[in-house]
Structure 1
Amino acid sequence: MKAPACQRDRTVTLQVSGEAVCAWCEQYRHECEARHVMARRTLAERREYLAGVEKHRGAAERQRLEKTIMALWKQRKQKNEPSGT
């Protein structure tokens, strides 16, 4: 989904796609939420948050958020792996 034309002057680059979007756009909010869930201390806290998303926004939104979390996690894992092994 492409960000609509925005009158704001602040843009950010999404970690998942590398796309530049307005800092007030839904794509950026969504990625920030995914990073927020990843920062939860325990698996139980992450699961509880995702259950709340499903309860209030539906299963499709939970799945969308989980997909973004997994993409960010894979990027983080690749970045932290030693190269040349």
Structure 2
Amino acid sequence: VATRIEIAGGEGVSLSAQYPEGEKFGTDEIEIMVYRGTVDIVISLRADSEITGNPKLLLTYQPCTDRACLAPVQKVLGISISGK
């Protein structure tokens, strides 16, 4: 599962994210890009129109070790967007 951040639970907000370059990991048959250790993902939020609902960030990622991957994880992160 690829790491991704998206807006959930609201309308009127757009998100752009800058993901760092990953490292190649795997075998000759299956190769994926992974992150190791702590990773910084830079995001920008913009109110495009009237904000409705209660927008939050939804972070999805899949933790792995050198031997196995665990089930994908989703974290909900609260955001605050101030007016003009």
Fold conserved (TM > 0.5)? no
Q: Kindly indicate which of the two structures has a greater share of residues assigned to helix.
A: 1
Query: TM class, shorter-chain normalised?
Result: under 0.3
TM-score by length of 1: 0.24
Q: Which has the higher contact order (CA 8 A, sep 6+)?
A: 2
Larger fraction in strand = 2
Superposition TM-score, scaled by structure 2 size: 0.24
Which structure would you say has the larger Rg?
Answer: 2
